[in-house]
Each structure stands twice: as structure tokens, then as C-alpha cells.
């Protein structure tokens, strides 16, 4: 008598192994396509950076202009009025 699984069990094991290999290859292909698409998206979005203005209005002064232009005093400190 031969050692191993019966014909039906061997066929099921072979199909399960083949299915696992096909799924692994499909996952690698899907990942590589997503990686390529994200790289292309990044390369097409980079030229949009030239549309933004840069200059003296950046930094804290630009942020203060957005919130109303006033400096806020810390709690517990009195403000001077002249």
C-alpha cells in the first residue's frame, strides 16, 4: 500500500496549495499597481505647488491675519492701554 493521502484528499490539498499561490501572486500584482498609481498621482500633483503664493505673508503673520490680526495676551497678565 502506498503512503500518503487518498486520491480525493490529495486533489483537495493540491487545489488549496494552488489557490494560495495564485492569491499571493495576485496580492503582489495589486500592491505594485497601487504603488505605481500613487507615484503617478504624486508626480502629477507636484506642479500644483507652483500655484501657491509664497512671500512675506507666510508664517505667524499670515496666521494672525487669518484669525483677526490681534495678539492674544496670556491669562493672568494685564494689558496696557495708552
Question: What is the signed CA dihedral for 55, 56, 59, 62, rounded to 10 degrees?
Answer: -110
- Give me the pLDDT at residue 15, please: 97
- Is the CB of residue 57 less than 8 Å from the CB of residue 65? yes
Q: Over the stretch 10-51, which tens digit does the pLDDT of each residue have?
A: 999 999 999 999 999 999 999 999 999 999 999 999 988 888
Amino acid at each position: 500500500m502506498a503512503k500518503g493521502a487518498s486520491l480525493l484528499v490529495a486533489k483537495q490539498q493540491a487545489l488549496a496549495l494552488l489557490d494560495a499561490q495564485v492569491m499571493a501572486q495576485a496580492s503582489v500584482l495589486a500592491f505594485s499597481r497601487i504603488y505605481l498609481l500613487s507615484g503617478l498621482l504624486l508626480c502629477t500633483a507636484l506642479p500644483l505647488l507652483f500655484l501657491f503664493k509664497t512671500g512675506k505673508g507666510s508664517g505667524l503673520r499670515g496666521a494672525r491675519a487669518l484669525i483677526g490680526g490681534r495678539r492674544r495676551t496670556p491669562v493672568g497678565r494685564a494689558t496696557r492701554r495708552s
